[in-house]
Structure 1
Amino acid sequence: MADKPTDKPTRGKRSKIDLLPEAIRKKLDMGLRDGSITQKELLEEINDLIRVAGLPEEAELSKSGLNRYASKMEAVGKDLREMREVSEVWVAQLGEKPTGDVTKLILEIGRTQLFKAMMNQADSADEAVDIGMIKDAMLAAQRLEQTATLSHKREKEIRKAFAEEAANAAEVVGKSQGLTKEAVQLLKNEILGIA
């Protein structure tokens, strides 16, 4: 009887690079980012490290395996560079504004990326729903909202502290200029937003 394919989602086999010791994997990633040596030279260097580490011959990387990994890393790097460029433009435009605007921008970028990831999952109709991805997405959304709440709270605390400093400075200046106690208090209340 022939084996029939199952509809169960399976976990893909880990690549040779995923199985490398962390030190060798870091050296590989650094070599790809640096770009000062060719992929062929990097492949030889990494395979030398694999042999020195006493790993089996099967652990050595192939040219095509390294090329696939390098292409994947470049795609991720390209996305990060593009996001960094967009963020830098927005941060430059918001530079004179309160830091809360920058935080809001970062949170919005995070929400957008989360939404894109969920849409990509939804577009893959032929694949089973990845419960782990949904769980991770919900956790990411929760963390983004917590960050937004904390950022808003921190912004309010900063504004309150600034208002208190300004009110105290106004009190000192008001007294030195001969304002009455009531006028100084009125000025402080106005700065602090107290009716």
Structure 2
Amino acid sequence: MEHKKRQQSSIDRLPEDIREQLQELLRDPRVTQLDATARINAILEEQGQEPLSKSAVNRYAVKMEAVGAKLRQSREVARMWIGRLGAEPQGEVGKLLNEMVRTLAFEAVVEMSEGSEAVEPRMIRDLAVAIEKLEKAASENVKREEEIRKKALEEAGDRVAKLAKKGGLSEETVREIRERIMGVAS
């Protein structure tokens, strides 16, 4: 089956500065889509370019709103979880943030692959580097947590051993208790 490359939308073909003006107008709640279309078409007419259709601007505005809604939702979820985990160990917050960034990266790649424009190699490289750094940070967090847990068990073992000696247990029993506690760390 032959894949056809989708044609760029009239919005995507706009010069960057004009597209940015359109985005700014669409974000302004005081400006209607019709007003935004008229203002941009006036600029395009001055430059001798083809005007935008109202339906093209509407499709673009709907797409922008959907992306904005996803971003707002992601931020709200992050705020909720970070608020909940704020009192939790730092590692849990880090894990959550790593997972969120991985999810966002995955969604971005899927969206890019469905888009009409080719994905820039630089974007792919930057995404790969970011994911590599995330994985390294996650791995370091796991190691750090493991070390903290092991140290806590060692300290607990030492305290139990001291108490057991005070309580009159034999050296052999104390050593066995300590080894069992340390066995949990292994």
Q: TM-score, normalised by structure 2?
A: 0.59
1:149 partnered with 2:136: yes
2:96 to 105, 112, 128: 105
The CA RMSD over aligned residues, in Å, is 3.7
Match of 2:61 in 1: 70
Gaps of 5+ in 2: 148-186
1:41 partnered with 2:35: yes
The alpha carbon displacement at 1:103 in A equals: 3.0
Match of 2:81 in 1: 90
The alpha carbon displacement at 1:55 in A equals: 3.8
Query: What is the distance in 1 between the residues matched to 2:23 and 2:90?
Result: 34
Match of 1:13 in 2: 7
Match of 2:17 in 1: 23
- Contact 2:98 2:138 survives alignment (8 Å): no
Corresponding residue pairs, total: 138
Gaps of 5+ in 1: 1-6, 125-131, 160-195
Query: What is the distance in 1 between the residues matched to 2:41 and 2:56?
Result: 12
Aligned-residue identity in percent = 38
| Residue 100 to residue 46, structure 1, CA distance change in 2 (3 Å) | farther
2:12 counterpart SS class: helix
| Residue 119 to residue 30, structure 1, CA distance change in 2 (3 Å) | closer
Match of 1:170 in 2: none
The alpha carbon displacement at 1:65 in A equals: 0.8
Query: What is the distance in 1 between the residues matched to 2:109 and 2:27?
Result: 29
| Residue 98 to residue 22, structure 1, CA distance change in 2 (3 Å) | farther
Q: Note the alpha carbon deviations across 1:148-180, whole angstroms, 9 max, x for none.
A: 313654895xx9xxxxxxxxxxxxxxxxxxxxx
- Contact 1:104 1:148 survives alignment (8 Å): no
